[in-house]
Amino acid sequence: MPNWCSTSYMIEGPHETLKKINDAILYHEVQENSSPDWEGNVLLALGITWKQSTPDGKNYYMRGFIQDSPSLGENTLEFYAEEAWGVTDFNLVLKKNFPDIKVYFNGEEPNMEIYITNDKEGKYFPNRYFVDTCINGAYNSEYFETKEKAYKWLSEISNNKVTNEEQVEAFNKEPLDEDDFICIHEFTIVDNNKVKIKTEV
């Protein structure tokens, strides 16, 4: 049983191209022995054989399933997928076959500590930190664009007991309650699906 990566997609491009992708998501045929929501079905509906070779000679990875109806705008298409272990190559195949689009994604797989986005400018996915806490038995979590905002929030919910990295480490070593913790997850900025650039604060 895989760990599932929750992936949000935002595609920019000409409305005609986006409508083709939108209609393929909504009205594709289901291949035999496949899930109705499988990303491969969408590609096949677009006339794309997903069993292609990547530039380094490997097969594209396509173990993902679209979870909701897409939202089609004039020049944007938004949808959400669950993908096994991490972000699949669905976006790469789309970009290869539709060079007039830009595909932005944001993926989170907490069990494997995967928090990634290819939205370097933060146009659609500006958050760079996810903070998950239990302080005095109270669970809280929140997203932040900067580490400074994350620590300001931590200071507020901890009554100024935790305001910086050193205090987070000290808190986790000697929590107020045995179930208490503070986890700060930093999103990695990636180029395609491969880690190349770390977020700078």
Claim to verify: residue 94 and residue 172 sit in the same structural domain: no
Q: Are 44 and 61 members of one domain?
A: yes
Question: What's the confidence (pLDDT) of residue 176?
Answer: 81
Residue 100's pLDDT is 97
Rg (CA), the chain: 20
For residue 28, tell me if it sits in a domain: yes
What was the pLDDT predicted at 198?
34
Each residue's pLDDT tens digit, 166-181: 999 999 999 888 899 9
CA dist 168 → 100, 118, 143, 160 (Å):
45, 28, 17, 12
Residue 57: predicted pLDDT:
66
Q: Which of 121, 142, 158 is the last residue of a domain?
A: 121
Residue 102 in any domain: the answer is: yes
Q: Quick one: how far is CA 136 from the chain centroid?
A: 30
The verdict on 116 and 174 lying in the same domain is no
Q: Are residues 32 and 49 in the same domain?
A: yes
Domain end, chosen from 121, 140, 157, is at 121
Mean pLDDT by 10 residues, the chain (201 residues): 94 98 96 90 89 70 94 98 94 94 97 95 98 95 97 95 94 91 96 47 31
Give the model's pLDDT for residue 194.
54
pLDDT, position 192 = 66
- Residue at a domain's end among 78, 105, 121: 121
Same domain, 109 and 162: no
Give residue 95's domain range: 4-121
In a domain, 117, yes or no: yes
Residue 18 shares a structural domain with residue 115: yes
Asked whether 131 and 183 are in contact (CB, 8 A), the reply is yes
Asked if residue 194 belongs to a domain, the reply is no
Determine the 3-state secondary structure of 76 from DSSP: strand
| Helices and strands (H and E) in the chain: how many | 5, 11
